[in-house]
Each structure stands twice: as C-alpha cells, then as structure tokens.
Amino acid sequence: MPVIYTPHISPRLQYIVAHLFEGSARITTSIEEYQHDENIKINYSPTPLFENELWVLPSRLLMEDTIHEVEIDVQRWNGLPIFFATNGSIPFDIFSASFYLLSRYEEYLPHEKDRYGRYAHTNSTAYKHQFIDQPLIDLWMQQLELILKQQRSSWHLPVRIFTIQPSYDIDEAYRYIWQSPFRNILGYFIDFLQGKFEHVTNRMKVLAVKQKDPYDVYEWLDQLHEQYHLDPVYFFLLAEKRTSLDKNIDPYTKGMQQLVQRHTERYNVGIHPSTQSFGSMDTMKRECQLLAYHTDKKVNRSRQHYLMMNFPDTYRLLIALGIQHDYSLGYGSVNGFRASVARPFYWYDLENEKITSLLIHPFCYMDSTAIFYERLNTEMAFERMNSFYESVKQVEGTFSFILHNHFLAEQFEWMIWRQLYEDFLGKHC
C-alpha cells in the first residue's frame, strides 16, 4: 500500500487518490510516520523529503474549495499530453490534472451549450488539445506504475480485468406494432405518398402478424449475448407524452410492459429519462415510477435521453430519486472519453466538495454519434469502434458503448450495420 505524505489532506485529494489507486493507498500528514513506513513513498508537498521517494510538486487546485477559471498549458511527457506542469520527480501534478478531468471541473465554468442545451464538446480541454480519443488518466497511471516499480519492482496497481459492456437505448421499441391506429394510418399514407412502397408492404405484413416488426431485434441480441457471455444493460424511454425527441410507444401498452419485464428477467435495466424530464424532478420521478411498476423492482440505473445533463443539477436529481448508477457520461456530438477515463468512478459534487454515492459508468462510443455527427459510413464507424476498443483494452478498462435497437433492424439500410456488430463481437469476444 503506497503511502502519500501531504501537509494537508483535502476532500479533493482524498477523492482522487482513492480513484487513482483504487483504495490501495493511504495519506498521512505525519513526516515521521511517512519516513518509517516501508511501503512505496509519494511525497505530495512543496519540498522533497527523502531520496527514495516519488516527489509530486503540488499545484494549488486540490487545496482550494472554490471553482474558478484555470489556465491549461498542455505539454508532453513520455508521449502523453500533460498539464499543471511542476518540477517534481515527474513534470506535472498528476493528482490535480486527474481531478480536473474526472470531476469535470471545466463543466462548472461558464461555457457554450449546443442546440440541446448540453455542454458542447468543443469547450473541453480534451477536444481542444486532441486527446479526447485517449483514456488519458489511465495512461498516466500506467506510466506512474513503471516509475514506482523502481522503488519496489514487485509492486503494481490493483489488478484490473478488461471487460466489454454493451448497452442499448430503447428509444423506439417497435416501428409498427403497439403504435396507435392513428399513427399507423398516418404512416401508411405518408409512406405511400412518398413512394416508399416497401415500407407500406412491411407495415401491412407486420400488422397482419405475417412478419416481425423491424425494430424487434431482441431475440437476436439475446443470442449474441448468450453466445459471447455478455452482460448488457437496457435503458427504456417511458415518456408519457410523445414529442419530436421522445418518440417511444405509449409506456402503458401491454407490449411495452411485456418487453420491459422480459428484459428484467435476464438483464440489468434502467430508466432512460426523456428530454421532457430534463431539469424536472416530477417528470423524472414519474418515469422512474413507471419503470418500477413494469419491473416490480427499485430503479437504480439511468441514462439521460439525448445525453441531456448539466453539472451538478442532473446528478443531484438522480441521487434524490435513488439512482445509484448513471451511464450518461459521454458526448452525443463526438465519440471519445469525456472524463478521460475508461472505468467507473464515483461522482464528486464539486460545489459541495464531497464524494457522492453515484457511480458513473462513462462510455466512449455511440452508434448515432458516428452516423449523424461524425458522418461516417458503416465500415468507417465500426473501424472507429474497434479503435476505441483497442484503446480501452490497452489500459485494462471497461469498453462501454451504446447502440440502438432501431439501428440494428433487419431493413436494407441497416443490414450491414447489424452484420458488422455481429462480426465485431465475433472478433473480440
């Protein structure tokens, strides 16, 4: 267990040390205790103390309790971007830099929002300095581990196991069935007038129970999960009012209830709070109650629809509703590592300066982002997915990604996407 000396133990320092060393390091303010400890020594103070120690010269960030603009000057170290440069045994304050990224410090500062009211990825340090494709905190820790091994060659960070974590957003559970008669009649005439005769035929066959609904890919996914021993998470959109962004079927239909129940029996499921619930405790609470009714279980997992979230309000709202796991941390407009990390971590409430009980499961890849924002064709999109897979595997992290059932449909425009996903799992699982 590494021992870290510091003249002052702050909540910020406690938090980032716990994350970086996964609970396997302790902090002391006693120089005498630090001196006589036989474990690996890390000195986090303004002056070096002993020869056989790693000295990390602190910046001010972890000893503050305010939020303010911070100058970020990105340099290079062992081929990796670094900032908060200092002159210790390593050329930067790894604790402050990691805290800045993990706490999403920059998202508490004044910033530009995108058209959905979200933090625009173009504001981020990771995007501006072109390391958004890297789990940078994990890469820093790999380098630190090599340095600390010089003190004791047998020491290593806690063993990690690389895992693949698929997750699915069920925004539109079915295309034709369980829709209202009005929507099906309207859709029939729109397709006919637009010359989409294949859609007209498919709708008629599905409603006549002669063909499976194109968005009903659930049995196929079950087979993949069983074949490759995967443990996915499904998030269900249960908005009571349909809007241009919340297009789910009526959550009170028998079809929706049965779909949720069958997945609850096999997998972890969570709520997919609608865009209407953004900032609304009452609406989000109602949707959680609907999911709890369908599953007969307490709702403890969540992912925001359209990834609509603001720090710290959204996470405080989730905690108030009893959510323990959130899967929203990523960008909807670019794929990459929003917090520069490839494993779960507890959310730090920066305004209240405290560690919370909410475990964040960051993702780095989403199909709709690759298709509609990055404008990649199918082959290029899956090449990018494979690249993120390799990046996460390099640091033994959790490769967490998001797919949508309606992009895996047995329709002409999506068949190649469906096949490539199956090929991806066959290659890596």
- The CATH label, of 1.10.599.10, 3.30.70.1560, 3.20.20.80, 3.20.20.370, for the domain at 163-175+213-428 is 3.20.20.370
Q: Determine the average pLDDT of the residues in 276-288.
A: 96
Tens-digit pLDDT profile for residues 65-81: 999 999 999 999 999 99
Tens-digit pLDDT profile for residues 161-207: 999 999 999 999 998 887 877 676 666 667 667 777 677 677 677 66
pLDDT at 52 over 90: no
Backbone region of residue 104 per phi and psi (left: phi > 0; alpha: psi in -120 to 50; beta: other values) = left
How far apart CA 73 and CA 272 sit, in angstroms, is 38
Q: Determine the average pLDDT of the residues in 333-361.
A: 98
Query: In 3D, which of 133, 36, 212, 104 has the Cα closest to residue 394?
Result: 133
Domain ranges of the chain: 3-148, 163-175+213-428
Tens-digit pLDDT profile for residues 114-139: 999 999 999 999 999 999 999 999 99
108 in Cβ contact with 67 (< 8 Å): yes
Query: In 3D, which of 370, 405, 385 has the Cα closest to residue 234?
Result: 405
How far apart CA 11 and CA 14 sit, in angstroms, is 5
Q: What is the distance of C-alpha 425 from the center of its chain?
A: 20
386 in Cβ contact with 380 (< 8 Å): no
**Dmax (CA) of the chain:** 83
Q: Determine the average pLDDT of the residues in 83-101.
A: 97
Residues of the chain with pLDDT > 70, as a percent, come to 97
28 in Cβ contact with 41 (< 8 Å): no
Quote the pTM value.
0.94
Q: Which two tokens stand for residue 416?
A: 């190649």
Q: What is the enclosing helix (H) or strand (E) of 13?
A: helix 11-20
Tens-digit pLDDT profile for residues 365-419: 999 999 999 999 888 998 999 999 999 999 999 999 999 999 999 877 788 889 9
For residue 36, count other CB atoms closer than 10 A to its CB: 9
Cis peptide before 181 (omega within 30 of 0): no
Q: Determine the average pLDDT of the residues in 84-101.
A: 97
Range with the lowest mean pLDDT among 181-185, 229-233, 321-325, 338-342? Answer: 181-185
Q: Looking at residue 179, what is its pLDDT?
A: 80
Question: What is the overall mean pLDDT for the chain?
Answer: 93
For residue 358, count other CB atoms closer than 10 A to its CB: 19
Q: Looking at residue 151, what is its pLDDT?
A: 82
Q: Looking at residue 187, what is its pLDDT?
A: 64
List of residues 6+ apart from 167 with CB closer than 8 A? 232, 233, 234, 235, 303, 327, 363, 400, 401, 402, 403
pLDDT band of 265, cuts 50, 70, 90: very high
